[in-house]
Amino acid sequence: MPWGEFHRNIIEKFIRVYENGGTPNPCVDCNRYMKFDGLLQLAEERGYDYIATGHYARVTYNEESGRYELKKGLDESKDQSYVLYNLTQEQLAHIVLPLGELHKDEVRKIAEKMSFANADKKDSQDICFVPDGDYAGFIEREKNVKYPEGDFIDMEGNVLGRHKGLIRYTLGQRKGLGISARSMRKI
């Protein structure tokens, strides 16, 4: 996958959504538009009918409806169906998700038995291009800007507290603002 395409379709959208106060989920976009489109195209070019990934989710075919269905993985604590929710029927028809039938501890045991280097790798919840989890810092570095600090102000114009730059907050956020619950009722 070319870096320019990834940057344009995933990273730039991530930044736009954050700048507008939204909560982006770049993994969803990457899975559908980059990872699965690219992998399926490559598989087709090489004469393969399916691709397999390590997502904790399952795909079944419903005979009654004639549609493929995306389902949670058996290990609900590791379920990743939410990042695959917008895959197309064509994509679902050509993917295999073997980990969806297993629990994480079973996968770890298999990896250990096979001497895989990542058998003991720590689980990650990070976005691949922001591994330290500092989204605001990433955006500031990417755009070469510093989002200024300012005041949280209620509807009557009262200053409720200070913020560290609006890029560090999303619409509807309630925690981590440094504002009391009583003050929040005034917003």
- Residue numbers annotated as active site: 30, 128
CA angle, 45 as apex, 94 and 62 as ends, to 5°?
Answer: 10
Instruction: Report the distance separating Cα 28 and Cα 173, nearest Å.
Output: 21
Q: Which residue in the block uniquely carries the two structure tokens 């090489």?
A: 46
Pair type for strands 67-72 and 57-62: antiparallel
What's at 83, amino acid-wise?
A: V
Largest CA distance in the chain: 65
Bridge partner list, 127: 130
